[in-house]
């Protein structure tokens, strides 16, 4: 379990770095997908199955849609031609380095409390209750309503139906 965590952590960070190193949008998209899949795998390792599967499914669909739009609308074929992905390299490196130092210092200098015992029960249910409390059912219904609203918006935004050419 510990080895799997460290492998996924290294993959997540390495793929995240590759997002900014590669020279095409398509490669950056798939590097971001690999990074987020490793994060989803990490969630699965800590028994947050619902969140882990949700991250994996959302990221796969999101990155595939992004790749499809790149193929459809980019001037270079499928975003595979080399292009400059970072602008103002010096300022970006300074800001990224400063943010890393601040976050690492905060993580290393914070007096974290020691875990007394492993919580029992379903951690996903406990997380849902701690985030939403007694409003969990309401939030689930709102989620379905938001999905229906997104689908309706797309249907109403098209000026012709499926068979009208």
**Torsion angle (degrees, nearest 10) of CA 11, 17, 23, 27:** 30
Asked if pLDDT for residue 93 goes beyond 60, the answer is yes
Could you give the CA distance from residue 81 to residue 145 in angstroms, rounded to a whole number? 41
**Structure confidence at residue 135 (pLDDT):** 79
Helix (H, G, I), strand (E, B) or coil at 151: helix
Closest residue by Cα to residue 40 from 9, 2, 1, 3 = 9
Q: What is the pLDDT of residues 22-48, one digit of tens each?
A: 877 778 888 999 999 999 999 999 888
Evaluate if residue 75 carries a pLDDT over 70: no
pLDDT of residue 27: 83
- Three-class secondary structure of residue 158 per DSSP: coil
Position 165 pLDDT exceeds 80: no
13-22, Cβ contacts within 8 angstroms, sequence gap of 24 or more: 20/85, 20/86, 22/85
- What number of residues does the chain have? 165
> CB within 8 A of 36, min separation 6: which ones?
12, 55, 56, 59, 63
Helix (H, G, I), strand (E, B) or coil at 26: helix
């Amino acid at each position: 379990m510990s080895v799997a965590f460290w492998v996924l952590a290294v993959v997540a960070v390495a793929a995240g770095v590759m997002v900014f190193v590669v020279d095409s949008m398509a490669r950056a998209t798939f590097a971001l997908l690999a990074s987020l899949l490793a994060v989803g795998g990490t969630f699965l390792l800590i028994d947050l199955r619902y969140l882990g599967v949700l991250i994996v499914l959302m990221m796969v669909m999101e990155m595939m849609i992004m790749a499809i739009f790149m193929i459809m609308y980019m001037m270079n074929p499928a975003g595979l031609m080399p292009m400059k992905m970072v602008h103002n390299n010096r300022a970006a490196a300074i800001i990224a380095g400063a943010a890393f130092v601040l976050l690492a210092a905060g993580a290393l200098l914070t007096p974290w409390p020691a875990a007394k015992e492993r919580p029992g029960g379903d951690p996903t249910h406990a997380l849902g209750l701690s985030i939403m409390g007694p409003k969990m059912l309401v939030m689930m219904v709102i989620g379905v309503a938001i999905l229906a609203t997104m689908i309706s918006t797309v249907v109403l935004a098209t000026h012709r139906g499926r068979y009208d050419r």
